[in-house]
Amino acid sequence: METVNITIDGRKLQVPGNYTVLEAAKQANIAIPTLCFLKDINEIGACRMCVVEIQGARSLQAACVYPVSEGLVINTQTPAVRESRKVTLELILSNHDRKCLTCVRSNNCELQKLAEELNISDVRFEGETYRLPVDHLSPSVVRDPNKCILCRRCISMCKNIQKVGVIDTSQRGFKTIVSSAFNQSLAEVPCINCGQCITVCPVGALREKDDTDRVWEALANPELHVVVQTAPAVRVALGEEFGLPIGSRVTSQMVAALKRLGFSKVFDTDTAADLTIMEEGTELLERLKNGGKLPLITSCSPGWIKYCEHNYPEFLDNLSSCKSPHEMFGAVLKSYYAQKQGIDPDKIFVVSIMPCTAKKFEAKRPELAATGRPDVDVVLTTRELARMIREAGIDFTGLPEGHFDDPMGEATGAGVIFGATGGVMEAALRTVAEILEGKPVDNIEYTAVRGTEGIKEAVVEAGGIKIKAAVAHGTGNAKKLLERIKAGEAEYHFVEIMACPGGCVTGGGQPIQPSKVRSWVDLRKERAKAIYEEDRNMPIRKSHENPKVKMLYEEYFEKPGSHRAHELLHTHYTQRENYPEAR
Amino acid sequence: MSVAGECCCGNVDTREQKLTEIIEKYKNTKGALIPVLHEAQELYGYLPLKVQKKISEGLDVPLAEIYGVVTFYTQFSLNAKGKYKIQVCLGTACYVKGSSKVLDKLREKLGINVGECTEDGLFSLDACRCVGACGLAPVMMINDDVYGRLTVDDVEGIIEKYRNK
Ligand code: SF4
Ligand code: SF4
Ligand code: SF4
Ligand code: FES
């Protein structure tokens, strides 16, 4: 890329010719406030928070969309610029429900931060305001339009990246709002509950449904045996909530904090991930051998499952019948574990800490109740766990080491990598390749399926069989991949799909980083790095070598795919109609 | 409320077939949405969920986006229109002369809000911008009939006249 010479606030510098003024300023370490901008996701120049003076231009220009050119002279700090930004912000604030004290995003709010940075001490415009009902019918996502600043990031995420498109602007002028079609609740439209809209919202207009009260209540109930399990992606992100750098691994502090909160047992969902690999791997081998429906598509991501049920019913038979790992774990806890420990399963309360909002919906599926009661009682996101830890006054970073509990505390590196896109595929290949080879395989790092590329492919040869695999993350990429398969342009045996771009590490329930950070740091990469580090540090890295999983099969399930395994660990799917009221 | 796809005349509804044709006609052109909405609106008189959903599927445009467009432009309507379409002018001249009171009276008499249609399908009520009859303010129109220099007390009689037609 050719470079151009520009002058910004009197400083001369050379920048790539395809930069915007905002990117050039970033390179020069000059901060320009932004609000609607989120790199690669929302670059629409709508809010005009980022205005700058461009020499020779008649009016102020939005830095986030203004391209640099040779000789451009930019001023980011002039009285006119400052006044314009202030007016813009005050106008937004004048119709904003400014109840920071009770807002979930206080202290992590881009609007609040801007008000502080731009030194807003008074809102000069107290104009018309209007208040709308909060949509809290969805088990996963709560929308409060009164806090919405119309930045449109959520729309862009839902429509352009996820290719779901259940929210958009409606009405016009002062009445413009973000809504679903016909103002329906998110619970009534084909929302897949991925929560990606939440993670891009700069303010408190979108949040997860808070279920912490139900967990506090259970913890306070002496009748209940309250156990908790944590997904792999939680441990590489939770630290961000407590000021640690992105990509910090806090497994040990997380476990210690959960014990302090009063959970009777702290389990690792990774163990169930290993169990999933045994069941899914067996399913794959069976379908390969017996000419079953191919490609086999993974089923760990409930956002993806709902997307498939709404939009690609023709692929429902391709889905693995395996429950997602935490649901498997819940079923095991209320059967095998209950029996072994001599606890009434009705008294076992299972909490899952997940990077995911879709799992809140999933836990309520009536079919996920293998023992006649919900496999999992409550799903909390990483963010909700952080709130509980704060509420309990726990000094997170100062905690002593904590260890997962037995039985079933032991997991493998294969279970850990479930948290990143490509991880389920890699974990499965580690096991399937060895079964096909009939002997240990040395190279177990399948790097072709790692990384942030939207669609990844790999061919793995083992035992004389060539397994063609593909991995897609983000339902937008999944759509592309499925269309290719439908059109006969590509053929695979095994496909991994995760609803969230980047996989679980950047799930809809993960800590939220503001645009200022997220636009320039690839969260997917940084958090995934920590996941693969954790994998490398595990003594056992293949699911079928997990002694606890072996024990489970010996003592209870007999073998993968057994009758009992099917009863407890597998499920089924149903087509869902989009907008059924239209009939 | 009458539902799109059923109509009161007893004839087989050919509108769905026509809608499919409209969608097919524009399907592969850029910016197809607005002309399709226009023709669909002409066909049905309004754009209910069922029609918008069909357009959404046909053009592969999310329903939420279509709803956004429909609610953005005043020429599109989400609600059925009655046999008698009442439009009350809320332009400046009419407004000053009390047209909003006339509108309130109509709301009360018909039991519907602006943008809605009565259950029997007889009347729909809308507010409109200046109709160019400011000399007669306040003005309302029922289909092509213009009523000027209205008072609140006139409303009942006019409505009855149409009801008994
Ligand atoms: S969204 Fe931000 S500014 Fe608004 S109330 Fe919440 S914390 Fe305060
Ligand atoms: S949860 Fe996902 S599908 Fe639902 S509105 Fe948000 S981004 Fe769209
Ligand atoms: S809900 Fe949040 S992300 Fe969506 S437009 Fe409003 S402020 Fe922006
Ligand atoms: S216009 Fe640049 S950040 Fe909104």
Among A356-360, A569-573, B152-156, name the one with the lowest average pLDDT.
Answer: B152-156
pLDDT tens by residue, B37-48: 999 999 998 999
Phi-psi region of A129 (alpha: psi -120 to 50; beta: other; left: phi over 0): beta
Supply the pLDDT for residue B1: 41
CATH number at residue A79: 3.10.20.740
- Residues A98-103, mean pLDDT to the nearest whole number: 95
Alpha carbons A139 and B110: distance in angstroms, whole number: 39
Cβ within 8 Å of residue B12, ≥6 positions away: none
pLDDT tens by residue, A189-245: 999 999 999 999 999 999 999 999 999 999 999 999 999 999 999 999 999 999 999
Evaluate if residue A2 carries a pLDDT over 60.
yes
Contact B145, B165 (CB under 8 A): no
Supply the pLDDT for residue A442: 84
Residue among B53, B62, B65 minimizing CB distance to A582? B53
Looking at chain A from residue 133 to 172, which residues have their Cβ under 8 Å from any Cβ of chain B?
159, 164-172
Lookup: tokens for A487: 């059109």
pLDDT tens by residue, A475-497: 999 999 999 999 999 999 999 99
Supply the pLDDT for residue A583: 67
Alpha carbons A191 and A130: distance in angstroms, whole number: 26
User: CATH classification of B84-163, choosing from 3.40.50.300, 3.30.70.20, 3.40.30.10, 3.40.605.10?
Assistant: 3.40.30.10
Q: What three-state secondary structure class fits B97?
A: coil
Ligand 3 neighbour A178 (Cβ under 6 A): yes
Alpha carbons B116 and A438: distance in angstroms, whole number: 72
Among A2-16, A375-389, A437-451, A470-484, name the one with the lowest average pLDDT.
Answer: A437-451
Cβ within 8 Å of residue A101, ≥6 positions away: none
Alpha carbons B118 and B161: distance in angstroms, whole number: 16
Confidence category of residue A125, pLDDT binned at 50, 70, 90: confident
Q: How many CA atoms lie within 13 A of A400 on its CB side?
A: 2
Alpha carbons A19 and A23: distance in angstroms, whole number: 6
Q: Please list every residue in chain B whose beta carbon sits closer than 8 Å to the beta carbon of residue A476.
A: none
- Residues A25-37, mean pLDDT to the nearest whole number: 97
Determine what percent of chain A is predicted with pLDDT higher than 90. Answer: 93
- Residues A67-72, mean pLDDT to the nearest whole number: 97
CA dihedral B136, B141, B144, B149 (to 10 degrees): -30
Burial pattern A536-557, b for ≥16 Cβ within 10 A else e, equals: eebebbbbbbbebbeebbeebb
Q: How close is the Cα of A44 to the center of ligand 4, in Å?
A: 7
Could you tell me which residue, B129 or B25, shows the higher pLDDT? B25
Lookup: tokens for A340: 């072994």
- Residues B47-68, mean pLDDT to the nearest whole number: 96
Alpha carbons A499 and A483: distance in angstroms, whole number: 16
Confidence category of residue B33, pLDDT binned at 50, 70, 90: very high
Supply the pLDDT for residue B3: 46
Flag whether residue A581 sits within 8 Å of chain B, measured between CB atoms: yes
In a domain, A119, yes or no: no
Flag whether residue B79 sits within 8 Å of chain A, measured between CB atoms: no
Evaluate if residue B126 carries a pLDDT over 70.
yes
Planar angle of CA A171, A173, A178, nearest 5 degrees: 45
Supply the pLDDT for residue B132: 82
Supply the pLDDT for residue B49: 94
Residue among A168, A579, A581 minimizing CB distance to B68? A168
Task: Find, in chain B, the residue whose alpha carbon is nearest to that of A177.
Answer: B68
**DSSP for A558-582, written as a single string:** -STT-HHHHHHHB-------SSGGG
pLDDT tens by residue, A507-556: 999 999 999 999 999 999 999 999 999 999 999 999 999 999 999 999 99
- By C-alpha distance, which of A135, A136, A145 is closest to A201? A145
- By C-alpha distance, which of A2, A526, A483 is closest to A244? A526
Evaluate if residue A441 carries a pLDDT over 90.
no
Beta bridge partners of A381: A354
Alpha carbons A96 and A92: distance in angstroms, whole number: 6
- DSSP letter for A468, please: E
Q: Which residues line ligand 1 (CB under 6 A)?
A: A 96, 98-100, 103, 105-106, 109, 111-112, 147, 203-204
Lookup: tokens for B90: 């809320």
Q: Please list every residue in chain A whose beta carbon sits closer than 8 Å to the beta carbon of residue B52.
A: 181, 582
Alpha carbons A152 and A136: distance in angstroms, whole number: 20
The last residue of one of the domains, among A53, A77, A92, is A92
SS3 content of chain A, % helix, strand, coil (to 5): 40, 15, 45
Q: CA A333: distance to chain centroid?
A: 25
Give the catalytic positions of A in this structure.
280, 283, 300, 320, 359, 362, 367, 504
CATH number at residue A219: 3.40.50.1780
Q: How close is the Cα of A149 to the center of ligand 3, in Å?
A: 6
The last residue of one of the domains, among A92, A115, A132, is A92
Flag whether residue A189 sits within 8 Å of chain B, measured between CB atoms: yes
Evaluate if residue A407 carries a pLDDT over 90.
no
- Residues A27-55, mean pLDDT to the nearest whole number: 97
- Residues B58-62, mean pLDDT to the nearest whole number: 96
Contact B103, B114 (CB under 8 A): yes
Return the ligand number nearest the Cα of A519.
4
Evaluate if residue A454 carries a pLDDT over 70.
yes
Phi-psi region of A262 (alpha: psi -120 to 50; beta: other; left: phi over 0): left
- C-beta atoms of A170 and B68 within 8 A: yes
Distances (CA, A) of B161 to B154, B155, B157, B164: 11, 10, 6, 5
Give the domain extent around A88. 3-92
- Residues B60-65, mean pLDDT to the nearest whole number: 97
- By C-alpha distance, which of A460, A464, A468, A469 is closest to A436? A464
In a domain, A112, yes or no: no
Supply the pLDDT for residue A410: 74
Supply the pLDDT for residue B12: 55
Confidence category of residue A459, pLDDT binned at 50, 70, 90: very high
Q: Please list every residue in chain A whose beta carbon sits closer than 8 Å to the beta carbon of residue B47.
A: none
Is residue B7 packed enough to be buried (19+ CB in 10 Å), middle (13-18) or exposed (0-12)? Answer: middle
- C-beta atoms of A579 and B66 within 8 A: no
In a domain, A575, yes or no: no
- By C-alpha distance, which of A446, A457, A528 is closest to A496? A457
**Per-domain residue ranges of chain B:** 12-72, 84-163
Flag whether residue B49 sits within 8 Å of chain A, measured between CB atoms: yes
Ligand 4 neighbour A66 (Cβ under 6 A): no
Q: How close is the Cα of A150 to the center of ligand 3, in Å?
A: 5
Contact A364, A139 (CB under 8 A): yes
Alpha carbons A277 and A499: distance in angstroms, whole number: 19
Count structural domains, chain A.
2
- Residues A412-441, mean pLDDT to the nearest whole number: 92
CA dihedral for A260, A262, A263, A264, sign (positive or negative):
positive
- Give the global pTM: 0.91
Q: How close is the Cα of A110 to the center of ligand 4, in Å?
A: 13
Evaluate if residue A360 carries a pLDDT over 80.
yes
The last residue of one of the domains, among A92, A122, A139, is A92
Alpha carbons B158 and B165: distance in angstroms, whole number: 11
Q: How close is the Cα of A513 to the center of ligand 1, in Å?
A: 15
CA-based nearest distance B66→chain A, Å: 8
Evaluate if residue B4 carries a pLDDT over 70.
no
- Residues B87-93, mean pLDDT to the nearest whole number: 89
Mean pLDDT of chain B: 88
Q: Which atom of ligand 3 is nearest to the CA of A167?
A: 4
Return the ligand number nearest the Cα of A52.
4
